[in-house]
Amino acid sequence: MSRSEHPLVEAYRTFSPASAARAEHAQAVFPGGDTRSSAHYGPYPLVMESADGCVMTDADGNRVLDFMNNFTSLIHGHAYTPVVEAVQHQVALGSAYAAPSAEQIELGELLRDRVPSIELMRFTSSGTEGTQMAVRCARAATGRQKIMKMEGGYHGSYELAEVSLVPLPNECGPLNHPTSTAVDASFPDSVLADTIICPYNEPDIARALLQEHGADIAAVIVEPMLGSMGMVPASPEFLAALREETQQRDIVLIFDEVITLRLHEGGAQALHNITPDLTCMGKIIGGGLPVGAVGGRADLMQLFSPNQERPVMHASTFSGNALTMAAGLAAMRNYNQADSERLNQLGERLREGFNQVFANAGVNAQAQGQGSLTNILFSSAATGNARQSMQAMIDAGHIGPLLHLTMLRHGVMSATRLMYCISTAMGDAEVDRAVAALEASVSELLPYIKTERPNLLAA
């Protein structure tokens, strides 16, 4: 039976006929009916009509709890009143000035005062742009070309940021010397040659690779939690090894905190008590509007200053635009350490509930992550690096996407890769509803797991 003909896919089609019609219409406008690869899934995505708090309503009138929050960016959920009011006020005054605004300066000060590594900073239009500018800054500062990134690490939509994003077993090479691999056919060989790949959570291998290549490396860029490959938390030993080795070799250490900034008022770096040289941000700092930022040591960030003889070039039409700054300031003023701790506790409640469901059903699956960020992988234990996560995805086959579709029918939205995150619009009741939805979904899936993927059953 092909996945497209699977009974659970047909049940999803029955659940969402209006979205199906909209998806067919979109085929005439967008390649594959899609304008954003990360938000697409088969047989078609739900088309949303409105959203409020933690609930979205689709074209068929189905109400679903949003545990995706636009890939972790909506820290307060949808249509959060302070953000709505700030945006309504600002849009009447103008959306983008190509000039500073008071809100831009105030939001910058708020972030600088919270995040330990930030002495100076710049806003960008996306997290992608933030990591691009961090890498360029490091190259300008060191005079070196190569970058070390983590296997499975995602830092935006450009070639260097996606090298070895998907470590396929027959392509990724040995663990102690991973091969730089392209995610698609658009990658030039020069990008692969300039990117040193390090396995996640392997401090000894990281030290060896930095000792071998350190003289040529401008920067090491790392997520304190490996986001796109299963929400794998970094071990303290791994981050400490990166910090120690980069300091010894005058290599710029970049923390990509686009996702993890929500874990603590000062980001994951505050949790780990490790201060990188540069920090990239995005998602929650924009209040739901497009945003990014890079900040860090003053001597590095001064390389962007227009007062420099040859500053690092950073021209970006919508960076620091007044509308995003107003929304971001409203969002961040209303998110503090107490909020972060509450959401982290809800995330732990979610993982515990999910794992109990899998244990009761006798299914080899694990909800892992940290704080308010969670990912389901079909494995009997939490994974520690991208290769383990990749193998879990391979072992699960079509069961993972089927679980995603079935959870939608039971009223819970996650990312297709089964990533869940918490917003301040949620409480115990919403988490418990998600656990109940998983229990119902696994019950529906279990007969197919037994016949189609018996390897996922506990012994």
Catalytically active residues are 154, 256, 283
**Cβ contact 376:434 at 8 Å:** no
Q: Residue 188 and residue 198: Cα distance in Å, rounded? A: 20
Closest CA to 419 of 290, 289, 255, 283: 283
Give 425's DSSP letter. Answer: T
Residue at 440: amino acid letter:
A
Nearest one of 197, 147, 146, 148 to 175, comparing CA atoms? 197
Pair 327, 86: CB distance under 8 Å: yes
* Inter-residue contact 30 to 76 (CB < 8 Å): no
DSSP string, 231-261: -EEPPHHHHHHHHHHHHHTTPEEEEE-TTGG
Q: Which whole-number Å values give the CA distances from 350 to 180, 262, 433, in the listed order?
A: 35, 17, 10
Q: What is the crossing angle of helices 386-396 and 399-409, to 10°? A: 80
CA-angle at 231, arms to 12 and 73, nearest 5°: 75
The continuous run of DSSP H or E covering 147 comes out as strand 146-150
Q: Strand 55-58 to strand 292-296: parallel, antiparallel, or no bridges (unpaired)? A: unpaired
Largest CA distance in the chain: 68
